[in-house]
Structure 1
Amino acid sequence: MNIDTRIKFRHLVCFLEAAQQGSLARAADKLAVSQPAISKTLKELEELLAASLFERSKSGVSLTEAGVAFLRYAGPCVQALRDGVSSLRGGEYEAGAVRLGVLSTVETLLLPEVVRRLHQQHPALVVSVVTGPSAYLLSQLRVGELDLVVGRMTDSPQIHGLTFEHLYSESMTLVVRAGHPLLALPQVREALHDYALVLPLAGTTIRRFADSLFVQCGISPSRQRLETLSLALSRRYVQSSDAVWVAPLDAVRLDLRSGELVELHLGIQEPGGSVGICSNASLPLSLAAHWCVETLREVGKDYREEVYP
């Protein structure tokens, strides 16, 4: 089926702005046109597509199923054209920028490899990384301050209405410094409550997985705790004390290989949470963000096939 040549760039821009704003009045303000002009343009587009794209109400507009389906293609189409024009005007055909929200679960191994591959293919690419709890990062994604969020976040309430793509599964583990007293004990579980714990912040997705691990093992956790999402702080504190770190496996994989940290075996393994990419379907991805998604998929595939790390 050929594309109807009567569909113009202005139709797509009006559609995307109305979808993002959820209001024809706000979309009109953003585009510096009148609300009747927005309504007329959207009506033309719906007639050309022979589909209703929006549900209209007193509170604003929301996408129909057809609108959501069309958004998946209209957004990347418009963004790709904008990126193409910008690159030609700037004379930097490989330039671009992507804004990533990164959870601690992918900070140590996944992200450095993703950035390395991206820069290998796109020398002028700028990768801006923001770290923090999933609730904060997802809120920034929702308002367009971030292009993508990467990590374990499927249990976060803020993910509703956003799009999540699974990359690989990662389990939690308990680690201590080399020479820790617990390593000499035949029964680790009974003695764990005597040692300080290093845990992710309360309320985060990864903390729920950590708490679940204790429940599965029937362990009463120690009341003495360091709660943080900082991998550097967690690592240094555990290396210099008798604390026990409940950590995502990727965060400590290199330390385990070097022998600086040692895994405590409890006879049970946490089943693992889904590490993936979260995006906002109502906001078109830039060309640089598309590059990043493809590279994340490549590295995720290597994880699943145990090629990397």
Structure 2
Amino acid sequence: MNLDSRIKFRHLLCFLEIARQGSFARAADVMAITQPAISKTLKELETLLGTRLFERDKAGVELTAAGVRFLRYAGPCVQALREGVSTLRNEQHQPPQVRVGVLSTVESQLMPEVLRRLHGRHSALVVSVATGPGTYLLGQLHVGDLDLVIGRITDSPQVQGLQFEHLYSEAMALIVRPGHPLLARPQAAAVSGYPLVLPLAGTTIRQHADSLFVQCGITPSAQRLETLSPTLSRRYVLASDAIWVAPRDAVGLDLANHELAELDLGVREPGGSVGLCANAAIPLPLPAQWLCEVVREVAAEYRKQP
């Protein structure tokens, strides 16, 4: 079937912004138009396609199955057009750029080493790093706003339709400050008596933290901090007797420098799969290929570590 010439660029922009924001109101604000106008534009597109692209609920809007399929093509289409316009505006003379989404579990140790090696090999390269929850970053990847996402994301529903490459498995650990009372005599039963620092409920990494508690027979304390911020977690643990259930990647340097300590209960939670995620519908730009090459190199060294 030939492409319907009535589908305009504004229809695609409207659809992508609603998918990106998860809300008609927020999408309207970003596009600087009224909410009725954005609703009308979407209705036009749905009529032309002969299907509903979004379902409304109290939390906002959610893509239908048809909307998810259309997103795989609308995002790359708009991104390709933007790149074509850029080449005609002499923006091809700008330094090469790669846009990557990074989850907090690889932000502290993996990515600094990757960036060090990458910039050592490419003297003119801009690396634009976005951080946040996996669902948000994968949504950006779907619409073409990111080239790659790196982290533990295999359990996210947003990974459907994307290409995932396993790099290594990431273990979980119980982390405390040096001099913590439990270091002298680690006991699983005693963990319940201290505040906990945990990943946010509902995240993949939280599931692995909960699994570690089950293996150790620990009843989690009701006093807890829930966050995905390594910086906040680290500072709170250093200032208190709290116990941080953390990916080893997030604390590897702290442990090596003896700035934090691991509470060893004799149990290892294998954690999840850390990997590279790309949008198969969009050809990977050369700078993104450079990044992938270095990420694979560093990950191979991780796999050799005991």
Q: Same fold (TM over 0.5)?
A: yes
> Are 2:140 and 2:146, in contact at CA under 8 Å, matched by a contact in 1?
yes
Q: Shift of residue 117 of structure 1? A: 1.4
Counterpart of 1:4 in structure 2 is: none
Alpha carbons of structure 1 residues 114 and 58: separation in structure 2 relative to 1, 3 Å: same
- Cα RMSD (Å): 3.2
Counterpart of 2:283 in structure 1 is: 284
> Are 1:171 and 1:249, in contact at CA under 8 Å, matched by a contact in 2?
yes
Counterpart of 1:44 in structure 2 is: none
> Are 1:176 and 1:239, in contact at CA under 8 Å, matched by a contact in 2?
yes
Number of equivalenced pairs: 246
Matched residue type, 1:257: A
Q: Shift of residue 26 of structure 1? A: 7.9
Q: Shift of residue 58 of structure 1? A: 5.3
After superposition, where does 1:198-217 map in structure 2 within 5 Å? 198-217=197-216
Counterpart of 2:30 in structure 1 is: none
State the alpha-carbon separation in 2 of the partners of residues 295 and 26 from structure 1: 43
Counterpart of 1:158 in structure 2 is: 158
State the alpha-carbon separation in 2 of the partners of residues 304 and 61 from structure 1: 38
Counterpart of 2:227 in structure 1 is: 228
Please list the CA deviations of residues 148-205 of structure 1 after superposition, one character each: whole Å capped at 9, or x if unmatched: 11001111121111111011111000010011111122x5111111100001111111
Matched residue type, 2:131: T
Q: Shift of residue 90 of structure 1? A: 5.7
> Are 2:189 and 2:217, in contact at CA under 8 Å, matched by a contact in 1?
no
Counterpart of 2:132 in structure 1 is: 132
Counterpart of 1:101 in structure 2 is: 101
State the alpha-carbon separation in 2 of the partners of residues 178 and 258 from structure 1: 11
Matched residue type, 1:244: I
Counterpart of 1:40 in structure 2 is: none
> Are 2:192 and 2:220, in contact at CA under 8 Å, matched by a contact in 1?
yes
Structure 1 unpaired stretches of 5+? 1-17, 32-56
SS in 1 for 2:192: helix
> Are 2:173 and 2:262, in contact at CA under 8 Å, matched by a contact in 1?
yes
After superposition, where does 1:30-179 map in structure 2 within 5 Å? 30=9, 59=51, 86=87, 92=93, 95-179=95-179
State the alpha-carbon separation in 2 of the partners of residues 256 and 292 from structure 1: 27
Matched residue type, 1:138: L
State the alpha-carbon separation in 1 of the partners of residues 6 and 288 from structure 2: 24
> Are 1:141 and 1:279, in contact at CA under 8 Å, matched by a contact in 2?
yes
Q: Shift of residue 261 of structure 1? A: 1.0
SS in 1 for 2:254: helix
Counterpart of 1:262 in structure 2 is: 261
SS in 2 for 1:250: helix
State the alpha-carbon separation in 2 of the partners of residues 96 and 158 from structure 1: 28
Alpha carbons of structure 1 residues 200 and 91: separation in structure 2 relative to 1, 3 Å: closer
Indicate yes or no: 2:3 matched with 1:24. Answer: yes
Counterpart of 2:21 in structure 1 is: none
Q: Give the alignment's TM-score, normalised by structure 1.
A: 0.71
Q: Shift of residue 301 of structure 1? A: 1.4
Q: Shift of residue 145 of structure 1? A: 1.4
Please list the CA deviations of residues 27-76 of structure 1 after superposition, one character each: whole Å capped at 9, or x if unmatched: 96349xxxxxxxxxxxxxxxxxxxxxxxxx9558999xxxx9xx9xxx9x
Alpha carbons of structure 1 residues 118 and 240: separation in structure 2 relative to 1, 3 Å: same
Matched residue type, 1:196: P
SS in 2 for 1:24: coil
Alpha carbons of structure 1 residues 272 and 291: separation in structure 2 relative to 1, 3 Å: same
Look at both structures and tell me which one has the larger radius of gyration over its CA atoms.
Answer: 1
SS in 1 for 2:222: coil
Name whichever of 281-290 and 207-216 sits farther off.
Answer: 281-290
> Are 1:200 and 1:207, in contact at CA under 8 Å, matched by a contact in 2?
yes
Task: Give 4+ residue runs of structure 1 displaced > 4 Å after superposition.
Answer: 57-63, 89-93
> Are 1:176 and 1:262, in contact at CA under 8 Å, matched by a contact in 2?
yes
State the alpha-carbon separation in 2 of the partners of residues 152 and 245 from structure 1: 18
Alpha carbons of structure 1 residues 183 and 293: separation in structure 2 relative to 1, 3 Å: same
Structure 2 unpaired stretches of 5+? 11-48, 52-65
Alpha carbons of structure 1 residues 224 and 284: separation in structure 2 relative to 1, 3 Å: same
Matched residue type, 2:149: V
State the alpha-carbon separation in 2 of the partners of residues 170 and 128 from structure 1: 25
SS in 1 for 2:268: coil
Q: Shift of residue 249 of structure 1? A: 0.2
> Are 1:24 and 1:61, in contact at CA under 8 Å, matched by a contact in 2?
no
Q: Shift of residue 299 of structure 1? A: 1.3
